[in-house]
Structure 1
Amino acid sequence: MKLATSFTGTRGVRYPSPDVARGFMLLLIALANVPFWTGVTRTSAPSDAVDTVWLWVRTLFVDGRSYPLFAMLFGFGLATMVNRRIAAGTRSYLESLPGVEAGREPTSQEEAWAREQATVDARRLVRRRGLWMILFGAVHALVFSGDVIGAYGLVAVIFAGWIARKHWKRAAVLCTVSVVVGVVITFVMLSVMVSQGMTSTADMRQGASGSTTTLLSYVSHGLTAWAVNAGTGLVSLMGPAMFLGARLADTDLIAHPERHRRLLAAVGLGGLGIGAVGGIGLAVWATGGPLVVWTIPLGQVAGLAGACGWLALLALYAGGPTPDGRLTGLRKPASAVGRRSMTAYLSQTLLFAAVFLLLPALTGIQLHLGEARTAGIAVVVWLVTVVLCTLLERGGHAGPFETLLRTAVVRSERKRAMAPPPAVRPADARSEAVLSG
């Protein structure tokens, strides 16, 4: 099987590590999302020892870890796309200059001009992609208000220029501020809810979900919740995670994990450990213990460390690119899912909706599931997407939603006013000719 390449050109190899990580990440996403569906359908959840054990595992290693991991991989993908687009665009602009085909070397001013034009093109590409993602997310929110495609699209639209021009210092300041603001807002909101007597997980879920007794109320509430979540995402861990992933694209930590085994192993085990310790208070509350308000923002921040741990370990497992591009074991189906992450993510929603909404409506059967059994359903849903993506991989087909997004981005491109290349003076041309001769 040939190595997959970026749509920005055939020169850039698509490394296996991010794809494999995305594939396994979608399992974590399914496990994190299934409580939404049991909450919407008010599925009764018997509590036993198995459920309690699973709640501890999910709280310490899945909840609050899967979506920061998603954001990091999204940022990594955006920055990789930008880097390749700028490199390919710079070459294209330089080759279009008069005399270059005849062997004339471009001047330093021409090289700067070409790179600037390519950078503007990359920024516009990220912004167009982000705008379409917002639309995709809005449609998805009609069924699943927890959609993150729109939130990631909004971040891409706002920070396209920072990513294209690598304003990492600005990003670091913004991320610090957003984490502090997010922690303060979370603490204040939780304090208010606790003062109103809403101290259990069921109370919190009910207070957040509101009334969804009819289809219209379900859809309207879903869109409202989605819009609020997309806006508040700017002061959550989503932004820091996205910028961290984008910054990693300028290193070879993820592209070539085989070169950094000790570092990644330390980050993997240490990150998961810190995330687990920071989530103990949340786990106690989730399993029926008392709520200590500060443990929730602490658990959220610790979740970013846990996400870093997952990314490091998944990158180690995936390994670096091989000469023939072949993947073995679970890496192969995981990579097939990772290459079609949007299709897999949206397919999960359709499958969950079929199980928790459509099936009970058609059969009249009321589901009585515990936490562990719903987790089993999540695993089955993920396995169905694995089969779907594997079949698409064998047939040589991209994911349908990836194809739709790519087509929309390409066809919505518009011509822009472009600064002309710097004029080459005869003296400069003669000097270049002498140097090249």
Structure 2
Amino acid sequence: MKLVTSFTSSKGVRYPSPDVARGFMLLLIALANVPTWVYLARSSTSPADTIDTAWLWVRTLFIDQRSYPLFAMLFGFGLMTMINRRIASGTQSYLQSLPGVEAGREPTSQEESWARERATVDARRLVRRRGAWMILFGAAHAMLFDSDVIGLYGLVAVVFAGWVAHKHWKRAAVVSAVIVVANVVVTFIVGSLMVSQGTTSSTAMREETDGSTVTLLSYISDGLTSWAGGTVRGALLSMVVPAMFLGARLADTDLIAHPERHRRLLTVVGLGGLGLGAVGGIAIAVRATGGPLVVWAVSFDRVAGLVGACGWLALLALYAGGPRTDGRLTGLRKLASNVGRRSMTAYLSQSFLFAAVFLALPALTGIELHLGEARAAGIAVAVWLVTLALCAVLERGGHAGPFETLLRTAVARSERKRPRPVPPSAS
């Protein structure tokens, strides 16, 4: 049962689909992040050949702008799952504390409502406390990798903890719609300015990179500054909030927990979502391979990215399947699940490995990297395989991810002692 038991609850069933999806999602994250590391290393790029061009098309249509909305949906799913379990256990705890219940008295409906409301408040506080610590973790990570998203997800959790805990789905839908419209408008304006200024191709964008010397202090300070601005912009003008709310809403259904019950629907969503997401990224793929930038391309690609992320989630859930009677996974599903249950450790480990390859190795050896797009993608796959092996070793020893353990410890120890709320009098 070890493979299906939650680290946060010894009695809660851990469904395989979200964990397997997280494991493969981290491969997509590595593939999406490696161009940033190539840029940070200021490595020279090899002339694009047919393989590089083909990979750019694949990455643009199926990975860029798709992997991080998928990440956000799975984050929202996990957040809602944690809240539901906390409310269920907290409600029982409050009910058991009522006078006379241990002697067999049945709680009144008023007492049940009170217990559930108090447990919901506790869940909201837990999410906010966890989110605050995630912001700190993200700031530390940003000293190495300024495109960190842990802090962004922590900020979103702090801001919207109450809505998620109380399941204010109508408010969430309105805010998500506003963010999507604002995202489209802003990116359209930015695209128009880029076209008017003549910055229309990815080649031209790369040529603007200067060769100024970077010190360790400037690297850290610039990283933190960039991360802070990007975190705020991401919360206001990215698909993270809509994707998070969508993932949280899915946790109150059995679409992901029991995909075997919805094969036809998930197949349609998976293939249709990836297909529509790919169509929406064609103009950006043309730009990425040296073509001009179309004004509406970026806006269209952002929305299509969320649709493509839904397609990825549906197909990965289908691949993982529902819970097994014996609680065991095998083969690649098991390996991916190992990573998915230690997603923070795997995500941060990717940054350490990328930094070793793109920053430490050239600095120590003096060897300048010459990478094409396909070779850089190969490094990303290799990094993911290393995290796969790392998580397999941790699973074999029965250990949670070290960063997950650190986060849980910090959240638990920072809880403030509050006076026990007074229950309503029994009628």
SS class of match (1:355): helix
- Pair 128,37 (structure 1): closer, same or farther in 2 beyond 3 Å: same
State the Cα RMSD in Å: 1.5
1:250 partner amino acid: D
**Residue in 2 that maps onto 1:81:** 82
- 1:125-144 counterparts in 2 under 5 A? 125-144=126-145
Check whether the contact 2:7–2:400 (CA below 8 A) recurs between aligned residues: no
CA contact (8 A) 1:22 1:337 kept: yes
Provide the C-alpha distance between the structure 2 equivalents of 1:316 and 1:126, rounded to a whole number of angstroms: 29
Q: Distance in 2 between matches of 1:274 and 1:209?
A: 37
Going from structure 1 to structure 2, the CA distance change for 1:171 and 1:104 (only over 3 Å counts) comes to same
* CA distance, structure 1, for counterparts of residue 304 and residue 212 of structure 2: 32
Q: How many Å apart are 1:183 and its aligned residue?
A: 1.4
**Structure 1 equivalent of residue 316 of structure 2:** 314
Structure-2 residue corresponding to 1:36: 36
**Aligned residue for 1:72?**
73
Note the residue ranges of structure 2 that are not aligned, 5 or more in a row: none
- Offset at residue 214 of structure 1 (A): 2.4
TM-score by length of 2: 0.97
The partner residue of 1:392 within 388, 391, 394 is: 394
| 1:338 matched residue in structure 2 | 340
Q: Does the C-alpha gap of structure 1 residues 3 and 106 become closer, same or farther in structure 2, counting only changes over 3 Å? A: farther
Query: Aligned equivalents of 2:20 and 2:212: distance in 1?
Result: 39
What amino acid maps onto 1:303 in structure 2? Answer: G
Contact 1:19 1:337 in 2 (8 A): yes
Give the match for residue 433 of structure 1.
none
Q: Does 1:271 align with 2:273?
A: yes
SS at match of 1:330: helix
Provide the aligned length of Structure 1 versus Structure 2. Answer: 425
Matched with 2:252 is 250
Q: Does the 8 Å CA contact 2:4/2:14 hold for their aligned counterparts? A: yes
Task: Give the superposition deviation at 1:7.
Answer: 4.6
- AA partner of residue 23 (structure 1): G
Aligned to 1:421: 423
Contact 1:52-1:287 within 8 A present in 2 as well: yes
Counterparts of 1:212 and 1:218, CA distance in 2:
10
Are residues 79 and 38 of structure 1, via their aligned partners in 2, closer, same or farther at CA, if it must alter by over 3 Å? same
d(CA) in 1 for partners of 2:211, 2:348: 24
Per the alignment, residue 434 of structure 1 pairs with: none
Tell me how far apart the structure 2 counterparts of residues 211 and 416 of structure 1 sit (CA, whole Å): 53
Q: Structure 1 residues 209 and 331, CA, compared in 2 at 3 Å: closer, same or farther?
A: farther
Q: How does 1:221-260 map to 2 (within 5 A)?
A: 221-234=222-235, 235-260=237-262
- Deviations along 1:373-401, whole A, 9 cap, x unmatched? 00000000000000000000000001000
Structure 2 CA distance for aligned equivalents of residues 180 and 400 of structure 1: 39
Q: Is the 8 A contact 2:143 2:223 kept in 1?
A: yes
* 2:387 aligned with 1:410: no
User: Could you say if the C-alpha distance between residues 206 and 82 of structure 1 is closer, same or farther in structure 2, counting changes exceeding 3 Å?
Assistant: farther
**1:147 paired to 2:148:** yes
The 3-state SS of whatever aligns with 1:327 is coil
State the shift of 1:130 in Å.
0.2
* Contact 2:266/2:318 (<8 A) preserved: yes
Match of 2:13, SS state, is: coil
Residue 19 of structure 1 pairs with residue 22 of structure 2: no
What one-letter code is carried by the residue in structure 2 that aligns with 1:324? D
Report the alpha carbon displacement of residue 114 of structure 1 after superposing the two structures with TM.
Answer: 0.4
SS of the aligned residue for 2:371 comes to coil
Q: What do the CA deviations read for 1:276-324 (whole angstroms, capped 9, x no partner)?
A: 0000000011001111021111011100010000000000000011121
More divergent stretch after superposition (204-213 vs 235-244):
204-213
The SS at the match of 1:144 is coil
Within 5 A, what are the aligned runs for 1:91-170? 91-170=92-171
Q: Which TM-score applies when normalising by structure 1?
A: 0.94
Q: Structure 1 CA distance, aligned partners of 2:209 and 2:151? A: 19
Deviation at 1:232, TM superposition (A): 1.0
Match among 353, 356, 359 for residue 357 of structure 1: 359
The answer for unaligned runs of 5 or more in structure 1 is 429-437
- Cα distance in 2 for partners of 1:51, 1:165 equals 48
Residue aligning to 1:431: none
- 2:140 is aligned with what amino acid? V
- Name the CA shift for 1:400/1:8 in 2 (closer, same or farther; >3 Å): closer
Pairing 1:1-16 to 2, within 5 Å after superposition: 1-16=1-16
**What is the rounded CA distance, in whole Å, between the counterparts of 2:59 and 2:263 in structure 1?**
27
- Give 1:274's aligned amino acid: L
Q: 1:207 to 1:228 in 2, by over 3 A?
A: farther
Preserved contact between residue 203 and residue 290 of structure 2 (Cα < 8 Å): no
Instruction: Return closer, same or farther for 1:97/1:151 CA change in 2, 3 Å cut-off.
Output: same
After superposition, what is the alpha-carbon deviation per residue over 1:173-193, rounded to whole angstroms, capped at 9, x for unaligned?
000000111111112223223
- Partner letter of residue 337 of structure 2? S
Which residue number in structure 2 is paired with residue 435 of structure 1?
none
State the one-letter code of the partner of 2:22: R
Distance 1:330 1:264 in 2: 21
If you compute each CA radius of gyration, which structure gives the higher value, 1 or 2? 1
1:329 Cα deviation (Å)? 1.8
Distance 1:347 1:419, change over 3 A: same
Q: How many angstroms apart in 1 are the aligned matches of 2:340 and 2:287?
A: 33
For the Cα contact (< 8 Å) 2:32–2:67, is it kept in 1? Answer: yes
Partner amino acid, structure 1, of 2:108: T
Letter matched to residue 84 of structure 1 = R
For residue 261 of structure 1, the aligned residue among 263, 269, 272 is 263
CA distance in 1, matches of 2:13, 2:182: 39
Rounded Cα–Cα distance in structure 2 between residues aligned with 1:151 and 1:404: 19
Q: Matches of 2:207 and 2:303 in 1, distance apart?
A: 24
1:283 paired residue among 282, 285, 302 = 285
Bigger mean CA deviation after superposition, 201-210 or 264-273: 201-210
Q: What SS is found at the alignment partner of 1:11?
A: strand
